[in-house]
Structure 1
Amino acid sequence: MRTWSRKNSLSGVKFRSEMDAREASVLRSLVTSVLSLLEERSESAPQDDLAELTGLRTGNSTAPTDAALARLLPDFFKPEDAIADGDARDSNANGALRSLHEPDIIDAKLQAGSVILQTVPAEGGKVVLTPEQADAWLSGLNDVRLALGTTIGIDADTPDELDPDDPRAPHLDVYHWLTWMQDSLVQVLLP
């Protein structure tokens, strides 16, 4: 993939790059995997009679058990933080907040990932984004990085390079590529 560039055109600012077919395939596969996780989570939300009557959508009230999904849809606050601060918040607060807000959060993540899939040429080639699409790319790339990083166990102690015999090594290279792609896009978005 080439570094992102910013171009002014008659139709407004555009952000451009180019990726080969292999890069496009990897990115599309990763985004599709994350979108599948999010769609499954959305579809697993319980049906609520009150929601059906009022039209108010509700989601799951429990945190995801899948580690990657839990990273994408974290709790709103950690109960141990509330206890340490002497806060007597109801232990169900996370469940209530999750139930109310998770559908919209998932929708936003699905939309961002869909923008990536719509704008990455299946066989590689030029990628041209509007500012709105570039923002969606940043969000979608971040979601993919979070899911991949969680899946392969990236943390603050993970070295920049792993032993070639480590089964995570090729995945870490993809993680670094996603990080570079995201950083390159951030750099051209800055005024």
Structure 2
Amino acid sequence: MAKGFRRTRRGIRARLDDNERGLLAHLLVEVHELLDDDAGPGDDDPLAQLVGIGTAVEPPSDPALARLLPDAHRDDPEAAAEFRRYTESGLRERKRAGLEVARRTLGRDGALLLDDDEARAWVVALTDVRLVLASRMGLEVDEDHERLEALADEQDSDEPGGLGFLLAVYDFLTWLQETLVEALLEPLPDGS
């Protein structure tokens, strides 16, 4: 059973059992694959390729991906398209890199021990996974969580893939992320 993150003299530490590690690894890979860049740098322009200017100007059609890569200018579609063209490729790459840090560190033996940079990558990776799960479940505001819990109770859907299971995973990720943020904000223990 998981023990949340806490700061130690050696780094930020958590304990996760094999099932929890497997679930987290699966989710990290799923979101990484969702972010695979199908709108990479412009093919014809060597300068665009060099600096990572993409061809994407429309928001993603997948609602979960659209939450990960939102429009920067909701009131100005032209500015949003231009901003997306210049930033989406790099944003996708940074998100994939953070997910990869989390997946790689998750594979270490023993307790999960992170340095501060790895812990910050984990915070972003957990946010991205939670955003995708929330989008898939229709969780937009706090009241949605209560509505989904009631629906899950009606459906008795605690089996893997069911709504109750997905809500439990979402709540687990939320708790894990909260303990991680708290650990990042803690001062180093005395004697370090």
TM-score computed with the length of structure 1 as normaliser: 0.84
Equivalent residues, number = 173
1:159, distance to aligned residue in structure 2 (A)? 3.4
Q: Is the 8 A contact 2:39 2:89 kept in 1?
A: no
* Equivalent residue number for residue 12 of structure 2: 15
Q: Which amino acid aligns with 1:101?
A: T
1:46, distance to aligned residue in structure 2 (A)? 6.2
Measured on the aligned residues, the alpha-carbon RMSD in Å equals 1.8
Q: Is the 8 A contact 2:41 2:89 kept in 1?
A: no
Unaligned runs of 5+ residues in structure 2 are 187-192
Q: Which amino acid aligns with 1:31?
A: L
1:56, distance to aligned residue in structure 2 (A)? 2.4
3-state SS, counterpart of residue 71 of structure 2: coil
The percent of aligned pairs where both chains have the same amino acid is 31
Q: Does 1:135 align with 2:120?
A: yes
Q: Is the 8 A contact 1:138 1:185 kept in 2?
A: yes
* Equivalent residue number for residue 190 of structure 2: none
Deviations 1:34-74 (A, max 9, x none): 000111xx133363423x14522222111100011000000
* Equivalent residue number for residue 33 of structure 1: 30
The aligned runs of 1:79-118 (5 Å cut-off) are 79=75, 91-118=77-104
Q: Is the 8 A contact 2:6 2:13 kept in 1?
A: yes
* Equivalent residue number for residue 69 of structure 1: 65
CA distance change for structure 1 residues 170 and 92 in 2, over 3 Å: closer, same or farther? same
CA distance in 2, matches of 1:159, 1:64: 25
* Equivalent residue number for residue 51 of structure 2: 56
Mean alpha-carbon deviation: is it higher for 179-188 or for 54-63? 54-63
Q: Which amino acid aligns with 2:70?
A: P
Unaligned runs of 5+ residues in structure 1 are 80-88
CA distance in 2, matches of 1:159, 1:65: 24
Q: Is the 8 A contact 2:41 2:52 kept in 1?
A: no
Q: Is the 8 A contact 1:48 1:58 kept in 2?
A: no
CA distance in 2, matches of 1:137, 1:178: 11
TM-score computed with the length of structure 2 as normaliser: 0.83
